[in-house]
Amino acid sequence: MQLLKERILKDGTIKPGNILKVDSFLNHQMDIPFINKLGKEFKRRFEDCPVTKILTIEASGIGIAALTAQYFQVPVVFAKKAQSLNLDGEMYTAKVESFTHKKVYDVILSKKFLTAQDHVLILDDFLANGCALKGLIQIVQSSGAVLEGAGVVIEKGFQGGGDELRRMGIRLESLAIIDSMKNGSLIFRESH
Amino acid sequence: MQLLKERILKDGTIKPGNILKVDSFLNHQMDIPFINKLGKEFKRRFEDCPVTKILTIEASGIGIAALTAQYFQVPVVFAKKAQSLNLDGEMYTAKVESFTHKKVYDVILSKKFLTAQDHVLILDDFLANGCALKGLIQIVQSSGAVLEGAGVVIEKGFQGGGDELRRMGIRLESLAIIDSMKNGSLIFRESH
């Protein structure tokens, strides 16, 4: 998505450890009209899918999922990290290793909100090694719902998680794929 | 807000420890068209305020803030809980005690995203003892921005945090105020 690539080049910054910061428009401060455009693009790419629910994970996926859900006219459910006193009853759970935070945490979702009747689109802001997405996919599989696909705003292609998911047969749409961040310069994968 | 009260009575459940669960429509599963209506109501109540930025806190405030921001046509910034490897530079920080999770955590916001030129509307899903809001207010004060007001979806009036903030002179708009949850039945405060 050209608009996104231009915005990353304009406002993204590269930090040590292959961390790309896009916190001025995507995941700390949120440029709402811009994210609405990303939402429309997700709708365009998954136009043919009978999505009944959008699944994301706290925290930075929530705003993107909420704005995108307006175009699909479906509810959002967001998985939570770690056990919460305020979640009761039956839960789907999966273990996830965070690239950014360098720790393992549990991802949980109330069973009430995902059933075998659902057709799920997973959305998130970033895809690096794919651990968060794999955790969400595991939750969808546990529920018996149909996984229609996954959409991420920025895929760090050089970390391999996205291509691994594609090899697994997951329909994955990344609005921008970065294939290299060497020497502080970004190289995007050609759009397919 | 009558629509919200009806929804709480229909879909909310009361758990031990004065916990009101509204996770089927507000903060685990999100009913997007419904939350859009809450957003419109926030806009109506703060119509006269020259808001330049909406401030919230992860995680469950983010979706509400993102949808509401569409009516104000301003960016959202969300404060993060605890230190993150992915936040650099200068931060505003405040300590917050969570009623639900019974622990103290740090709330942080990058100084880049709130300045003395901003007029801030704080939004959150719940207000109980008011600790989260007080943390956000402290951050706004540190930035030198003008605090236009705070909006919450559900205030647990019997926990006193809301009235304390009003006594401090904060313009606080709660879309529903619950004055009692005794014996499993909810009593709402009369709309003012």
Mean predicted confidence (pLDDT) in A125-148: 96
Per the CB < 8 A criterion, the answer to whether A39 and A67 are in contact is yes
Q: Give the CATH number for residue A21.
A: 3.40.50.2020
Chain A residue closest to B70 (CA)? A32
pLDDT tier for residue A75 given thresholds of 50, 70 and 90: very high
pLDDT tier for residue A99 given thresholds of 50, 70 and 90: low
- What local confidence, expressed as pLDDT, does residue B86 receive? 54
Which structural domain range is residue A111 located in? 2-188
Rounded to whole angstroms, the Cα distance separating A180 from A126 reads 15
What's the one-letter identity of residue A43? K
Q: Does residue B74 surpass a pLDDT of 70? A: yes
Contact residues, chain A, for B23 at CB < 8 Å: 86-87, 110, 113
Q: Does residue A70 surpass a pLDDT of 70? A: yes
- Cis bond upstream, residue A82 (ω within 30): no
Mean predicted confidence (pLDDT) in B6-34: 95
Q: Does residue B88 surpass a pLDDT of 60? A: no
Contact residues, chain B, for A60 at CB < 8 Å: 58, 62
- Smallest CA–CA distance, residue B192 to chain A, in Å, is 30
Q: Which of B150, B157, B148, B147 is nearest to B191 (CA)?
A: B157
Per the CB < 8 A criterion, the answer to whether B17 and A63 are in contact is no
pLDDT tier for residue A89 given thresholds of 50, 70 and 90: low
Contact residues, chain B, for A75 at CB < 8 Å: 29-32
Tell me the sheet residues that pair with A54. Answer: A76, A121
- pTM of the complete model: 0.95
For chain A, give the percent of residues with pLDDT over 70: 94
Is residue B39 a part of any domain in this protein? yes
Tell me the sheet residues that pair with A124. Answer: A152
For the ranges A99-103, B57-61, B102-106, the one whose mean pLDDT is highest: B57-61
* B84 in reach of chain A (CB within 8 A): yes
Mean predicted confidence (pLDDT) in A24-42: 98
For chain A, give the percent of residues with pLDDT over 90: 82
Is residue B90 a part of any domain in this protein? yes
CB atoms B31 and A63 under 8 Å? no
Rounded to whole angstroms, the Cα distance separating A42 from A100 reads 25
- What local confidence, expressed as pLDDT, does residue A181 receive? 92
* B23 in reach of chain A (CB within 8 A): yes
For strand B53-57 and strand B76-81, is the pairing parallel, antiparallel, or unpaired?
Answer: parallel
CB atoms B76 and A30 under 8 Å? yes
Q: What is the mean pLDDT of chain B?
A: 93
Q: Does residue A85 surpass a pLDDT of 80? A: no
- Lowest-confidence pick of A93-107, A149-163, A173-187, B148-162: A93-107
CB atoms B35 and A66 under 8 Å? yes
For the record, the structure tokens of B112 come out as 């880049």
Contact residues, chain B, for A70 at CB < 8 Å: 32, 36, 67
Into how many domains does chain A fold? 1
pLDDT tier for residue A9 given thresholds of 50, 70 and 90: very high
- What local confidence, expressed as pLDDT, does residue A16 receive? 86
CB atoms A32 and B88 under 8 Å? no
Rounded to whole angstroms, the Cα distance separating B26 from B74 reads 22
- What local confidence, expressed as pLDDT, does residue B83 receive? 58
Print the SS3 string covering chain B.
Answer: CHHHHHHHHHHCEEECCCEEECCCCCCCEECHHHHHHHHHHHHHHCCCCCCCEEEEECCCHHHHHHHHHHHHCCCEEEEEECCCCCCCCCEEEEEEEECCCCEEEEEEEEHHHCCCCCEEEEEEEEECCCHHHHHHHHHHHHHCCEEEEEEEEEEEHHHCHHHHHHHCCCCEEEEEEEEECHHHCCEECCCC
- Smallest CA–CA distance, residue B157 to chain A, in Å, is 19
DSSP state of A36: H
- Smallest CA–CA distance, residue A166 to chain B, in Å, is 27
Could you identify the residue written with the tokens 């009593």? B187
- pLDDT, tens digit, 9 for 90 and up, residues B96-153: 887 666 788 889 999 999 999 999 999 999 999 999 999 999 999 999 999 999 999 9
Mean predicted confidence (pLDDT) in A18-34: 96
DSSP state of A130: S
- What local confidence, expressed as pLDDT, does residue B87 receive? 53
- What local confidence, expressed as pLDDT, does residue B17 receive? 83
Is residue B61 a part of any domain in this protein? yes
Q: What is the mean pLDDT of chain A?
A: 93
CA B182 to each of CA A85, A143, B139, B161: distance values in angstroms, whole numbers, following the listed order: 20, 35, 35, 18
* B22 in reach of chain A (CB within 8 A): no
Q: What is the ipTM of this complex?
A: 0.94
- Lowest-confidence pick of A15-24, A62-71, B31-40, B59-68: A15-24
Is residue B84 a part of any domain in this protein? yes
Q: Does residue B38 surpass a pLDDT of 60? A: yes
Per the CB < 8 A criterion, the answer to whether B98 and B106 are in contact is no
- What local confidence, expressed as pLDDT, does residue A183 receive? 83
Nearest to B77 among A28, A69, A77 (CB): A28
- What local confidence, expressed as pLDDT, does residue A74 receive? 98
What's the one-letter identity of residue A178? I
- pLDDT, tens digit, 9 for 90 and up, residues B153-173: 999 999 999 999 999 999 999
- What local confidence, expressed as pLDDT, does residue B100 receive? 65
Q: Does residue B89 surpass a pLDDT of 70? A: no
CB atoms B86 and A66 under 8 Å? no
- Smallest CA–CA distance, residue B168 to chain A, in Å, is 28
Contact residues, chain B, for A67 at CB < 8 Å: 66-67, 70
Is residue B190 a part of any domain in this protein? no
Q: To probe the interface with A, which of B13, B15, B27, B28 has the most A CB atoms within 10 Å?
A: B28
Is residue B186 a part of any domain in this protein? no
For the record, the structure tokens of A16 come out as 């040590």
Contact residues, chain B, for A62 at CB < 8 Å: 58-60, 62-63, 66
- What local confidence, expressed as pLDDT, does residue A174 receive? 98
Per the CB < 8 A criterion, the answer to whether B122 and B137 are in contact is yes
